[in-house]
Amino acid sequence: MNSESISIRQMLDEDLDKILKIITAHDEDDAEEAQRDYQEGGISGQYVMLLDNQLIGVSGAKRVEACDNTFKLSWTYIDKKHCNQGYGRQLLQYLVDEIISCNGRKIFVYVSDYIDEDGIALYAAALKLYQSLGFETELKIADYYDRGESLSVLGLVLKPAPSELPSVISESPKIVFKQLYPVAETENSYSFSWDTKFLGKSFSASDVKIGVDAAHDVEASMVLISFPSNFDNVTMPLFEAGFSLLGQLKDYYEDGIHEDHYSFRLY
Ligand SMILES: CC(C)(COP(=O)(O)OP(=O)(O)OC[C@H]1O[C@@H](n2cnc3c(N)ncnc32)[C@H](O)[C@@H]1OP(=O)(O)O)[C@@H](O)C(=O)NCCC(=O)NCCS
């Protein structure tokens, strides 16, 4: 008779060492990034799985700021010696149910197609698992993490948008680029933080070019930027400055307002 007992509870600060050990066994760089994330972003919304009171897995999700009940999955790892026994699916299903009970409308997860030195696709199991839970690829960015290593963003619809959506109101805010910053986990990709204001001149290709020049100065390989799809004054300046539209995350901000992703490749 199998008497093992499985439980899932919210993550506590004292779980951190065990969690980082589990992640390190899969990938050391991920463990470093995860530690930074937990320290900077906190551990609320993070859960651990226990098998006979031993911590064997972690997963979690965070609400995406300024969005209508949109969530983003965070670090999901099962202890290597317990992988492929159904625990990952159980933990993720628990998390999805939690998000549904918090009124979640859509969940996104960001997955790399990294292949390690031994030719192993590190995240292939995760990708299969997400797909089997109903996640669908909405955006793929080639060479995102590094040359040859893509990012796929998968979305899971929890509440389908009503078939008769009220028409989305277009906006033409003044965009102000604030700061060039390196995109986490990438080799040499950069992005800009931006803000909107209601005074001042319109956003133009020359504003974008100032940003691209700054990216040249730090020898960035790619500049990535995203805007809500109802901003009707950003596409033309971005295209004029040499950016391309990569795709969009559907209903990211709210039903009918997507997140449009653009890139500019420097090298
Ligand atoms: C992804 C992960 C959490 C899945 O946990 P798990 O307990 O091993 O998964 P499960 O046993 O619940 O399997 C669920 C599904 O995953 C897939 N899967 C599991 N192991 C797999 C493997 N080695 N190769 C391919 N698919 C696999 C299968 O589709 C399986 O579905 P099935 O039950 O229909 O066969 C775990 O493999 C892991 O920690 N991987 C490394 C970390 C990682 O990739 N995290 C996600 C980053 S985005």
Ligand 1 within 6 A of 71 CB? Answer: no
Strand 46-51 with 6-10, pairing: antiparallel
Substitution site in 79, 84, 110, 137 for ligand 1 pocket (most atoms within 8 Å of beta carbon): 84
CB 248 within 8 A of CB 258: yes
Burial status of residue 189 (CB atoms within 10 A of its CB: 0-12, 13-18, 19 or more): buried
Q: How far is the CA of 85 from the centre of ligand 1 (A)?
A: 9
CATH architecture of the domain covering 174-265 = 3-Layer(aba) Sandwich (3.40)
Sheet bearing 174-182, strands edge to edge: 174-182, 189-197, 222-228, 257-265, 244-254
pLDDT at 1: 47
Answer whether 232's CB lies under 8 Å from 201's CB. Answer: no
Instruction: Going from the first residue of the chain to its last (267 residues), give the mean pLDDT of each consecutive group of 10, the final group possibly shorter.
Output: 84 98 96 96 97 98 97 97 97 98 98 89 94 98 92 97 86 86 93 80 84 93 95 93 96 97 93
Q: Would you say 143 and 222 are in contact if contact means Cβ atoms under 8 Å apart? A: yes
The CB of 86 under 6 Å from ligand 1? The reply is yes
For ligand 1, the distance from its centroid to the CA atom of residue 38, given in whole angstroms, is: 23
* Cβ of residue 124 lying under 6 Å from some atom of ligand 1: yes
User: Closest Cα partner for 190 from 219, 149, 165?
Assistant: 219
CB of 235 closer than 8 Å to CB of 218 = no
If you ran DSSP here, which 8-state letter would residue 233 be given? Answer: T
In this prediction, residue 196 carries a pLDDT of 86
Any atom of ligand 1 within 6 Å of the Cβ of 114: no
What's the pLDDT score for residue 200?
A: 65
Which atom of ligand 1 is closest in space to residue 128's alpha carbon? 29
Q: Which two tokens stand for residue 262?
A: 């653009």
- With the most atoms of ligand 1 within 8 angstroms of its CB, the residue from 37, 47, 85, 89 to mutate is 89
What's the confidence (pLDDT) of residue 47?
98
Domain 6-157 belongs in CATH node 3.40.630.30: yes
pTM recorded for the entire structure: 0.94
Could you give the residue range(s) of every CATH 3.40.630.30 domain in the chain? 6-157, 174-265
Closest ligand 1 atom to residue 110 Cα is 48
267 CA to centre of ligand 1 in angstroms? 35
Contacts of range 26-31, beta carbons closer than 8 Å, 24 or more positions apart: 26/77, 26/80, 26/122, 27/122, 29/185, 30/75, 30/77
3-state DSSP helix/strand/coil % of the chain, to nearest 5: 30, 40, 35
Start-end of H helices in the chain: 16-26, 28-41, 87-101, 124-132, 205-217, 235-240
Q: What's 188's DSSP letter?
A: S
> Quick check: helix, strand or coil at residue 186?
coil
Evaluate: CB of 193 within 6 angstroms of ligand 1. no
Atom of ligand 1 nearest to the CA of 23: 42
CA of 78 to the centre of ligand 1 (A): 8
State if residue 87 touches ligand 1 by the CB under 6 angstroms criterion: yes
Q: Is the CB of 147 under 6 A from ligand 1?
A: no
Q: How far is residue 165's CA from residue 172's CA, in Å, rounded to a whole number?
A: 21
